[in-house]
């Protein structure tokens, strides 16, 4: 049993302008999620840089889970999470997002959520650490 799929997406060599454009990235994540069949519940963004390096965090809450982005503008990096359950495929969300934004060089890891191993470990009172 698997209850959801979680994409961990590392984007390198992203333009500094995009890494600072919280509104554009937030809107693109919401649109991509909707195109993939997800239901957007809420959106929030926070720009930082006053006491830390410039960038932002943006989160799109979905009925099916969430999409989030955390940027490091000076380094040209975006850390994306796309977690969905049900019939929405997180790979579709990422595909639509890449159609809207130049995410630079992208590497993707897919992590299954609530696998039989993790559920059994929880029942046994153990912590299952996947590497």
Q: What is the pTM for the complete model shown?
A: 0.87
CB contact burial 51-82 (16+ within 10 A = b; e otherwise): eeeebbbbbbbbebbbbbbbbbbeebbbebbb
11 is catalytic: no
Q: Which of 6, 31, 68, 70 is catalytic?
A: 70
Residue tagged active-site, from 15, 31, 68, 85: 85
Q: What is the pLDDT of residues 18-51, one digit of tens each?
A: 999 999 999 999 999 999 999 999 999 999 978 8
The answer to whether residue 85 is catalytic is yes
Is-catalytic flag, 107? no
Domain ranges of the chain: 5-123
CA-nearest of 4, 2, 13, 38 to 107 is 13
118 has a pLDDT exceeding 70: no
Confidence of residue 86 (pLDDT cuts 50, 70, 90): confident
What tokens does 78 get?
A: 């975006």
Catalytic member of 11, 19, 65, 118: 65
Architecture of domain 5-123: 4-Layer Sandwich (3.60)
The whole-number pLDDT of residue 121 equals: 66
């Amino acid at each position: 049993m698997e209850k959801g799929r979680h994409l961990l997406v590392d984007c390198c060599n992203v333009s500094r302008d995009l890494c600072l454009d919280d509104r554009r990235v937030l809107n693109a994540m919401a649109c991509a999620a909707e195109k993939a069949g997800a239901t957007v519940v809420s959106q929030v963004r926070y720009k930082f840089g006053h006491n830390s390096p410039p960038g932002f965090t943006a989160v799109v809450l979905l009925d099916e889970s969430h999409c989030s982005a955390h940027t490091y503008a000076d380094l040209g990096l975006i850390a994306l999470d796309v977690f969905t359950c049900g019939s929405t495929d997180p790979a579709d969300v990422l595909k639509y997002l890449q159609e809207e934004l130049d995410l630079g060089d992208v590497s993707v890891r897919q992590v299954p959520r609530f696998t039989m191993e993790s559920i059994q470990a929880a029942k046994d009172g153990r912590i299952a650490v996947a590497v």
